[in-house]
Structure 1
Protein backbone atom coordinates (compact mmCIF):
# COMPACT_ATOMS: atom_id res chain seq x y z
CA UNK A 1 0.00 0.00 0.00
CA UNK A 2 1.41 3.39 -0.95
CA UNK A 3 1.41 6.41 1.31
CA UNK A 4 -1.12 9.12 0.47
CA UNK A 5 0.36 12.14 -1.24
CA UNK A 6 0.92 15.25 0.82
CA UNK A 7 -1.14 18.18 -0.43
CA UNK A 8 0.29 21.34 -1.96
CA UNK A 9 -1.49 24.14 -0.11
CA UNK A 10 -2.41 27.60 -1.38
CA UNK A 11 -4.42 29.44 1.30
CA UNK A 12 -4.59 32.90 2.83
CA UNK A 13 -6.48 34.14 5.91
CA UNK A 14 -6.39 36.87 8.54
CA UNK A 15 -6.47 36.76 12.33
CA UNK A 16 -9.67 37.66 14.24
CA UNK A 17 -8.95 41.41 14.21
CA UNK A 18 -7.53 41.47 10.67
CA UNK A 19 -4.18 42.98 11.70
CA UNK A 20 -2.12 39.94 10.64
CA UNK A 21 -2.49 37.83 7.52
CA UNK A 22 -0.92 34.45 7.00
CA UNK A 23 -0.57 32.40 3.83
CA UNK A 24 0.74 28.98 2.93
CA UNK A 25 2.02 28.33 -0.57
CA UNK A 26 3.72 24.99 -0.73
CA UNK A 27 3.75 21.39 0.40
CA UNK A 28 2.38 20.03 3.63
CA UNK A 29 5.05 17.88 5.31
CA UNK A 30 2.81 16.22 7.92
CA UNK A 31 -0.66 16.46 9.48
CA UNK A 32 -1.54 15.31 13.01
CA UNK A 33 -3.38 16.09 16.22
CA UNK A 34 -1.70 16.74 19.56
CA UNK A 35 -3.22 16.34 23.03
CA UNK A 36 -0.28 17.64 25.07
CA UNK A 37 -1.24 19.94 27.93
CA UNK A 38 0.40 22.93 26.24
CA UNK A 39 -1.75 22.47 23.13
CA UNK A 40 -4.83 22.13 25.33
CA UNK A 41 -4.02 25.44 27.03
CA UNK A 42 -3.18 27.16 23.74
CA UNK A 43 -6.37 26.05 21.98
CA UNK A 44 -8.78 26.03 24.91
CA UNK A 45 -9.91 22.54 23.91
CA UNK A 46 -8.70 18.94 24.12
CA UNK A 47 -6.22 18.91 21.24
CA UNK A 48 -4.62 20.94 18.48
CA UNK A 49 -4.90 20.26 14.75
CA UNK A 50 -1.49 20.78 13.17
CA UNK A 51 -0.05 20.88 9.67
CA UNK A 52 3.72 21.04 9.26
CA UNK A 53 4.99 23.17 6.38
CA UNK A 54 8.45 24.31 5.31
CA UNK A 55 9.31 27.76 6.70
CA UNK A 56 9.63 29.08 3.15
CA UNK A 57 6.01 28.14 2.37
CA UNK A 58 4.66 30.39 5.14
CA UNK A 59 3.97 34.04 4.46
CA UNK A 60 3.15 36.56 7.18
CA UNK A 61 1.95 40.15 6.75
CA UNK A 62 1.42 42.30 9.80
CA UNK A 63 2.53 41.97 13.39
CA UNK A 64 3.29 38.85 15.40
CA UNK A 65 4.41 38.35 18.96
CA UNK A 66 6.23 35.25 20.22
CA UNK A 67 6.39 33.25 23.44
CA UNK A 68 9.15 30.67 24.13
CA UNK A 69 8.88 27.72 26.48
CA UNK A 70 10.80 24.49 27.03
CA UNK A 71 9.12 21.41 25.54
CA UNK A 72 9.07 17.81 26.79
CA UNK A 73 11.73 16.96 24.20
CA UNK A 74 14.17 19.49 25.67
CA UNK A 75 13.79 21.81 22.69
CA UNK A 76 12.54 25.38 22.87
CA UNK A 77 9.01 25.70 21.47
CA UNK A 78 7.95 29.14 20.24
CA UNK A 79 4.33 30.09 19.68
CA UNK A 80 3.62 33.10 17.45
CA UNK A 81 0.33 34.98 17.76
CA UNK A 82 -1.31 38.29 16.86
CA UNK A 83 -0.34 40.83 19.54
CA UNK A 84 -3.70 42.62 19.18
CA UNK A 85 -6.30 39.82 19.29
CA UNK A 86 -4.22 36.82 20.42
CA UNK A 87 -5.10 34.59 17.46
CA UNK A 88 -2.55 31.72 17.26
CA UNK A 89 -0.51 31.97 14.05
CA UNK A 90 2.16 29.26 14.06
CA UNK A 91 4.66 27.41 16.21
CA UNK A 92 8.23 26.33 15.74
CA UNK A 93 10.65 24.06 17.54
CA UNK A 94 14.36 24.66 17.95
CA UNK A 95 14.77 21.01 16.90
CA UNK A 96 13.23 21.72 13.47
CA UNK A 97 14.09 25.34 12.63
CA UNK A 98 13.03 25.01 8.98
CA UNK A 99 9.50 23.75 9.78
CA UNK A 100 6.44 25.73 10.88
CA UNK A 101 3.53 24.20 12.81
CA UNK A 102 0.30 25.68 11.54
CA UNK A 103 -2.98 25.55 13.50
CA UNK A 104 -5.27 24.29 10.74
CA UNK A 105 -8.31 26.10 12.16
CA UNK A 106 -6.70 29.42 11.24
CA UNK A 107 -7.73 28.64 7.67
CA UNK A 108 -11.37 27.89 8.55
CA UNK A 109 -13.39 27.22 5.42
CA UNK A 110 -10.20 26.59 3.43
CA UNK A 111 -8.87 23.50 5.19
CA UNK A 112 -10.60 20.57 3.50
CA UNK A 113 -7.11 19.32 2.52
CA UNK A 114 -6.39 18.45 6.18
CA UNK A 115 -6.26 14.70 6.89
CA UNK A 116 -4.51 13.92 10.21
CA UNK A 117 -2.82 10.53 10.43
CA UNK A 118 -2.06 10.29 14.17
CA UNK A 119 -2.63 11.68 17.65
CA UNK A 120 0.49 12.47 19.68
CA UNK A 121 0.59 12.91 23.46
CA UNK A 122 -2.39 10.61 23.94
CA UNK A 123 -1.28 10.24 27.57
CA UNK A 124 -2.98 13.57 28.29
CA UNK A 125 -6.01 13.15 26.01
CA UNK A 126 -9.19 14.13 27.84
CA UNK A 127 -11.95 11.49 27.97
CA UNK A 128 -14.44 14.08 26.71
CA UNK A 129 -12.30 14.94 23.67
CA UNK A 130 -13.63 12.51 21.06
CA UNK A 131 -10.77 12.20 18.59
CA UNK A 132 -11.48 9.78 15.72
CA UNK A 133 -10.95 6.18 16.86
CA UNK A 134 -9.13 5.15 13.67
CA UNK A 135 -6.13 7.43 14.31
CA UNK A 136 -3.02 5.75 15.69
CA UNK A 137 -2.17 7.09 19.15
CA UNK A 138 1.29 7.74 20.55
CA UNK A 139 1.82 8.26 24.27
CA UNK A 140 4.24 11.15 23.62
CA UNK A 141 6.02 11.76 20.31
CA UNK A 142 5.72 9.21 17.52
CA UNK A 143 8.56 6.70 17.91
CA UNK A 144 11.33 7.51 15.44
CA UNK A 145 9.85 10.87 14.44
CA UNK A 146 12.55 12.96 16.09
CA UNK A 147 10.00 15.68 16.85
Structure 2
Protein backbone atom coordinates (compact mmCIF):
# COMPACT_ATOMS: atom_id res chain seq x y z
CA UNK A 1 0.00 0.00 0.00
CA UNK A 2 1.02 3.61 -0.68
CA UNK A 3 -0.07 6.58 1.36
CA UNK A 4 -0.58 10.32 1.30
CA UNK A 5 -0.69 12.87 4.09
CA UNK A 6 -0.93 16.54 4.89
CA UNK A 7 2.05 18.49 6.27
CA UNK A 8 1.18 17.88 9.93
CA UNK A 9 0.03 14.27 9.46
CA UNK A 10 -3.50 14.79 10.82
CA UNK A 11 -5.14 13.88 7.47
CA UNK A 12 -3.91 10.64 5.85
CA UNK A 13 -4.92 8.35 3.02
CA UNK A 14 -4.05 4.68 2.59
CA UNK A 15 -3.87 4.04 -1.18
CA UNK A 16 -3.41 1.12 -3.54
CA UNK A 17 0.18 0.75 -4.78
CA UNK A 18 -0.44 2.08 -8.29
CA UNK A 19 -2.73 4.92 -9.36
CA UNK A 20 -5.24 4.45 -12.16
CA UNK A 21 -4.02 7.66 -13.81
CA UNK A 22 -1.74 10.65 -13.21
CA UNK A 23 -2.92 13.95 -14.71
CA UNK A 24 -1.59 17.52 -14.81
CA UNK A 25 -4.34 20.14 -14.79
CA UNK A 26 -3.78 23.77 -15.78
CA UNK A 27 -7.28 25.08 -15.02
CA UNK A 28 -7.46 28.31 -13.05
CA UNK A 29 -9.12 26.56 -10.10
CA UNK A 30 -6.28 24.03 -9.78
CA UNK A 31 -3.82 26.90 -9.96
CA UNK A 32 -5.66 28.59 -7.10
CA UNK A 33 -6.02 25.34 -5.10
CA UNK A 34 -2.30 24.64 -5.24
CA UNK A 35 -0.83 28.14 -5.42
CA UNK A 36 1.25 26.78 -8.31
CA UNK A 37 1.07 27.10 -12.11
CA UNK A 38 -0.76 23.76 -12.35
CA UNK A 39 -2.16 20.97 -10.21
CA UNK A 40 -1.08 17.36 -10.56
CA UNK A 41 -3.02 14.43 -9.20
CA UNK A 42 -2.95 10.67 -9.02
CA UNK A 43 -6.36 9.05 -9.37
CA UNK A 44 -7.33 5.95 -7.39
CA UNK A 45 -10.54 3.89 -7.16
CA UNK A 46 -12.53 5.45 -4.29
CA UNK A 47 -13.48 2.03 -2.90
CA UNK A 48 -9.77 1.18 -2.42
CA UNK A 49 -8.86 4.36 -0.48
CA UNK A 50 -9.06 4.70 3.31
CA UNK A 51 -9.15 8.22 4.78
CA UNK A 52 -7.93 8.80 8.35
CA UNK A 53 -8.53 12.11 10.09
CA UNK A 54 -10.97 14.84 9.25
CA UNK A 55 -10.54 17.01 6.21
CA UNK A 56 -12.32 20.29 5.73
CA UNK A 57 -14.33 20.29 2.51
CA UNK A 58 -14.53 23.07 -0.05
CA UNK A 59 -16.98 22.56 -2.94
CA UNK A 60 -16.87 24.46 -6.23
CA UNK A 61 -18.34 24.26 -9.70
CA UNK A 62 -16.11 22.32 -12.09
CA UNK A 63 -15.22 23.66 -15.54
CA UNK A 64 -15.98 20.19 -16.87
CA UNK A 65 -19.45 20.18 -15.25
CA UNK A 66 -20.75 19.08 -11.85
CA UNK A 67 -19.02 19.89 -8.58
CA UNK A 68 -15.52 19.24 -7.26
CA UNK A 69 -15.12 18.62 -3.53
CA UNK A 70 -11.60 19.41 -2.29
CA UNK A 71 -10.42 18.23 1.12
CA UNK A 72 -7.68 19.94 3.05
CA UNK A 73 -6.31 19.67 6.56
CA UNK A 74 -7.97 22.15 8.94
CA UNK A 75 -4.76 22.21 11.04
CA UNK A 76 -2.01 22.88 8.48
CA UNK A 77 -4.07 23.82 5.39
CA UNK A 78 -2.52 21.23 3.05
CA UNK A 79 -4.70 20.32 0.07
CA UNK A 80 -4.68 16.50 0.09
CA UNK A 81 -7.46 15.02 -2.10
CA UNK A 82 -10.63 15.70 -4.06
CA UNK A 83 -13.67 14.01 -5.54
CA UNK A 84 -15.78 15.07 -8.50
CA UNK A 85 -19.49 14.53 -9.09
CA UNK A 86 -18.85 13.53 -12.70
CA UNK A 87 -16.29 10.88 -11.63
CA UNK A 88 -17.80 9.37 -8.45
CA UNK A 89 -15.79 6.14 -8.50
CA UNK A 90 -12.40 7.91 -8.26
CA UNK A 91 -10.44 10.03 -5.76
CA UNK A 92 -7.79 12.48 -6.94
CA UNK A 93 -4.77 12.81 -4.65
CA UNK A 94 -2.37 15.76 -4.81
CA UNK A 95 1.03 14.48 -5.96
CA UNK A 96 2.72 16.61 -3.30
CA UNK A 97 0.80 14.72 -0.59
CA UNK A 98 2.12 11.30 -1.65
CA UNK A 99 4.80 9.97 0.68
CA UNK A 100 6.63 7.87 -1.93
CA UNK A 101 6.83 8.98 -5.55
CA UNK A 102 9.73 6.73 -6.59
CA UNK A 103 7.49 4.52 -8.75
CA UNK A 104 4.96 7.19 -9.77
CA UNK A 105 4.61 7.57 -13.53
CA UNK A 106 4.71 10.95 -15.26
CA UNK A 107 1.32 12.50 -16.07
CA UNK A 108 -0.38 10.66 -18.93
CA UNK A 109 -2.56 13.69 -19.68
CA UNK A 110 -2.15 17.45 -19.54
CA UNK A 111 -5.58 19.10 -19.42
CA UNK A 112 -7.05 22.62 -19.58
CA UNK A 113 -3.99 23.82 -21.46
CA UNK A 114 -5.87 26.94 -22.62
CA UNK A 115 -4.91 28.43 -19.23
CA UNK A 116 -1.42 26.88 -19.06
CA UNK A 117 1.44 29.25 -18.30
CA UNK A 118 3.41 29.70 -21.53
CA UNK A 119 6.69 28.52 -19.96
CA UNK A 120 5.27 25.25 -18.56
CA UNK A 121 5.81 22.09 -20.58
CA UNK A 122 4.55 18.62 -19.66
CA UNK A 123 6.49 16.81 -22.38
CA UNK A 124 6.06 13.35 -20.83
CA UNK A 125 2.24 13.50 -21.14
CA UNK A 126 0.96 11.31 -23.91
CA UNK A 127 -2.20 13.36 -24.41
CA UNK A 128 -2.73 17.12 -24.37
CA UNK A 129 -6.15 18.76 -24.15
CA UNK A 130 -7.05 22.42 -24.55
CA UNK A 131 -9.94 21.85 -22.16
CA UNK A 132 -10.89 18.92 -19.94
CA UNK A 133 -10.64 15.23 -20.56
CA UNK A 134 -12.40 12.15 -19.26
CA UNK A 135 -10.56 9.81 -16.91
CA UNK A 136 -11.65 6.33 -17.92
CA UNK A 137 -12.44 4.12 -14.94
CA UNK A 138 -11.98 0.80 -16.76
CA UNK A 139 -8.61 -0.47 -17.95
Structure 1 residues without counterparts, runs of 5 or longer: 1-9
Contact 1:27-1:54 at 8 Å conserved across structures? no
Partners of 1:11 and 1:88 lie apart in 2 by: 18
SS in 2 for 1:39: helix
Greater gyration radius: 1
CA offset digits 1:44-82 (Å, max 9, x no partner): 111111111111221111111101111112211110111
SS in 1 for 2:87: coil
| CA root-mean-square deviation | 1.8
Partners of 2:48 and 2:59 lie apart in 1 by: 22
Structure 2 residues without counterparts, runs of 5 or longer: none
| CA shift for structure 1 position 133 | 2.7
Partners of 1:37 and 1:120 lie apart in 2 by: 11
Aligned residues: 134
Partners of 1:132 and 1:146 lie apart in 2 by: 18
Structure 2 counterpart of 1:77: 68
